[in-house]
């Protein structure tokens, strides 16, 4: 067997890491995009394997949102979506032979893929730690994303065949340290247990409701109150504010809302603990706890409301 034949076989044998990376990144795109679309209200529901609404508890936690303003809502899953999309784009360039393996940019693409997957893996490990230690709930989609990130990282090392392993190690170490430090700073900033340090208000209260309530929304809120439908909320929770904004200012005043944050004003922390509230907002309907932001039409259906549901 000639040297050229061996070289050709070696080239062919390295196609499988690219194929697997493309498949895994596509699964990652489907995983993170479904979470993102659910957060933006484009999916009504998202089936999540597990118990006690673990996914809702994790995704609706403070760590589930990257940026939240009155005009902008970017869930953390959107960052994952961009990451997997970038990985898929790079691996397609490498697989479709758009650039020659002899060109320097070909090697640079592998290096970029390695550094992105390294950072993604470290950040995923951090998120799993937060999920276990801080939120104390299980989210299948989050665990899947962590597995995908780490698998892509390993496959990148195999597929890239870096000549200098020492350089690979040090560059990976620098990225891992940078991502870890940045992730820890971000994690501590959004940690609700540090609310006293990051909230400048003397009173731990929810942001003011800025939307206007229609007559239909006010009547529906009164119906929920009369039927002992309770909303469990936390003043620092952005999704709780989203839920209230759906009702509007006057309708929210009619709702039965329990403040669960231990440092929140007029809180009923013990009741929330007794009810085993794990995610915010949570609704208690017919002695069942449902977590996550729910549309008014869904709430009307769940509570068998027979009034006018023209909530627009």
**Cα(127)–Cα(281) distance, rounded to whole angstroms?**
21
Interval 223-242: pLDDT, tens: 999 999 999 998 888 889 88
Domain boundaries, the chain: 3-190, 215-302
We find that the CATH architecture of domain 3-190 is: Up-down Bundle (1.20)
**Is 60 exceeded by the pLDDT of residue 36?**
yes
Token pair of 294, please? 């729910």
DSSP structure string for 76-103: HHHHHHHHHHHHHHHHHHHHTTSS-TTS
H/E segment holding residue 296: helix 296-302
Interval 271-284: pLDDT, tens: 999 998 888 899 99
- Cβ atoms 280, 232 nearer than 8 A: yes
Task: Give whichever of 129-138, 184-193, 300-309 has the largest mean pLDDT.
Answer: 300-309
Interval 294-304: pLDDT, tens: 999 999 999 99
**Cα(277)–Cα(282) distance, rounded to whole angstroms?**
7
Q: What is the pTM of this model?
A: 0.63
Give the Å distances, CA to CA, from 85 to 19, 40, 76, 92, 217. Answer: 15, 19, 15, 11, 40
Share of the chain above pLDDT 90, in %: 49
Closest residue by Cα to residue 292 from 304, 305, 278, 303? 278
Could you tell me the pLDDT band of residue 71, with boundaries at 50, 70 and 90? low
Q: Domain 215-302: what homologous superfamily? A: Glutaredoxin (3.40.30.10)
**Cα(297)–Cα(309) distance, rounded to whole angstroms?**
7
């Amino acid at each position: 067997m000639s040297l050229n034949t061996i070289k050709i076989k070696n080239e062919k044998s390295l196609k499988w890491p690219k194929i697997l990376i493309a498949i895994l990144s596509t699964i990652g795109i489907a995983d993170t995009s479904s979470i993102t679309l659910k957060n933006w209200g484009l999916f009504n529901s998202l089936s999540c394997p597990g118990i006690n609404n673990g996914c809702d508890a994790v995704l609706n936690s403070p760590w589930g949102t990257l940026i939240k303003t009155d005009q902008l809502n970017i869930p953390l899953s959107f960052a994952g979506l961009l990451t997997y999309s970038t990985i898929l784009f790079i691996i397609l360039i490498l697989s479709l032979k758009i650039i020659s393996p002899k060109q320097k940019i070909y090697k640079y693409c592998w290096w970029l893929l390695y550094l992105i997957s390294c950072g993604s893996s470290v950040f995923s490990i951090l998120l799993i730690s937060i999920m276990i230690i801080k939120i104390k709930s299980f989210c299948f989609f989050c665990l899947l994303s962590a597995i995908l990130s780490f698998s892509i990282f390993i496959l990148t090392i195999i597929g890239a065949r870096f000549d200098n392993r020492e350089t690979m190690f040090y560059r990976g170490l620098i990225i891992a340290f940078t991502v870890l430090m940045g992730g820890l700073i971000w994690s501590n900033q959004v940690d609700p247990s540090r609310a006293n340090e990051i909230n400048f208000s003397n009173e731990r209260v929810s942001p003011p409701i800025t939307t206007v309530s229609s007559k239909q929304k006010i009547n529906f809120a009164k119906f929920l109150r009369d039927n002992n439908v309770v909303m469990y909320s936390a003043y620092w929770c952005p999704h709780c504010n989203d839920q209230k904004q759906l009702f509007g200012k006057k309708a929210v005043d009619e709702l039965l809302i329990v403040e669960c944050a231990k440092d929140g004003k007029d809180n009923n922390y013990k009741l929330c603990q007794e009810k085993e509230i794990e995610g915010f907002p949570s609704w208690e309907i017919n002695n069942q706890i449902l977590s996550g932001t729910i549309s008014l039409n869904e709430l009307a259906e769940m509570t068998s409301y027979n009034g006018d549901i023209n909530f627009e």
